[in-house]
Structure 1
Amino acid sequence: MTRNIATALALGLALVASGAQAGVEENLTKAGCMACHAKDKKMVGPSFKDIAAKYKGQDVVAPLMTKVRTGGKGVFGPIPMPPNPPEKINDADLKEAVQYILKS
């Protein structure tokens, strides 16, 4: 019985996590991020996996949030990333998105 409870709990947590992931991906799409970025392939901008690899082990959530807000260029190539104001993605959703990207 304990095994059944553990299995049910694990399944429930997986469903919650996949729902949260879907919400983050929806916010990234609404904010326009997915027009230039993809999870696992370079498009106009770097893939989320490339971003995660570059910053692995670093505490960069706040600096990356600032970079998303102000825009930037030169870190992953010459194509600039336009600024993304709070009207496109609020601070809480942006923080969640950056954390999601860094775990990719």
Structure 2
Amino acid sequence: MRHIVIVFFAALLITSCSKKETDPNVETNVMMEEPVAQSTEEISTEPGAEGLKMIQGMDCLTCHKVDARLVGPSYQEIADKYTEADMDMLAQKIIDGSVGTWGQIPMTPHAGLSKENAKKMVEYILTLKK
């Protein structure tokens, strides 16, 4: 069993350290298209359902989890710290990016996201308040 684990990690190390061929003409920091609901039939009537769908369609879950810290705070931690009075400020942080509130790792800005949709995402996060 120990040998299998060693071989696995060695393969992982070799793969992650290998030089990747990149096309210098390709933009690597491409802004993702803003997610939109396909139809009103797809949207649940649950509070925050639209925001959850947007979160799932973007890169948010790369750094955040609902109930545990990953790169950034969990959505549960955010909900416990803030109230609906902070909705505009939190939506703007999603759009502009942020650093310092939860540590020194910056949150990536989402400049292509509308304030209205950022608020929907915050609305979902705040539904997780304990």
* TM-score, reference length from structure 2: 0.58
Q: Deviations over 1:49-68 (max 9, x none)?
A: 10011114x61010111111
CA distance in 1, matches of 2:95, 2:46: 26
Alpha-carbon RMSD? 1.9
Q: Secondary structure at the match of 1:77?
A: coil
1:43 matched to 2:67? The reply is no
Identity of aligned residues (%): 31
Q: State yes or no: 1:75 paired with 2:101.
A: yes
CA distance in 1, matches of 2:71, 2:111: 20
- In the alignment, structure 1 segments of 5+ residues that lack a partner are 1-14
Could you list the runs of 5+ residues in structure 2 that have no partner in the other structure? 1-43
User: How far apart are the structure 1 equivalents of 2:89 and 2:116?
Assistant: 15
For residues 45 and 53 of structure 2, the distance between their equivalents in structure 1, rounded to whole angstroms, comes to 15
Cα distance in 1, alignment partners of residues 67 and 95 from structure 2: 23
Query: How much has 1:92 moved relative to structure 2?
Result: 2.6
Residues in 2 aligned to 1:55 and 1:92: alpha-carbon distance in whole angstroms: 18
Q: Which one-letter code corresponds to 1:16 in the other structure?
A: T
Shift of 1:31: 2.0
- The residue type equivalent to 1:81 in the other structure is M
Partners of 1:90 and 1:31 in 2: CA distance = 13
Q: Equivalents in 2 of 1:17, 1:99: separation in Å?
A: 11
Q: Is 1:85 matched with 2:111?
A: yes
Is 1:16 matched with 2:42? no
Scaled by the length of structure 1, the TM-score of the pair is 0.70
**3-state SS of paired residue (1:16):** coil
Residues 29, 35 of structure 1: 8 Å contact kept: no
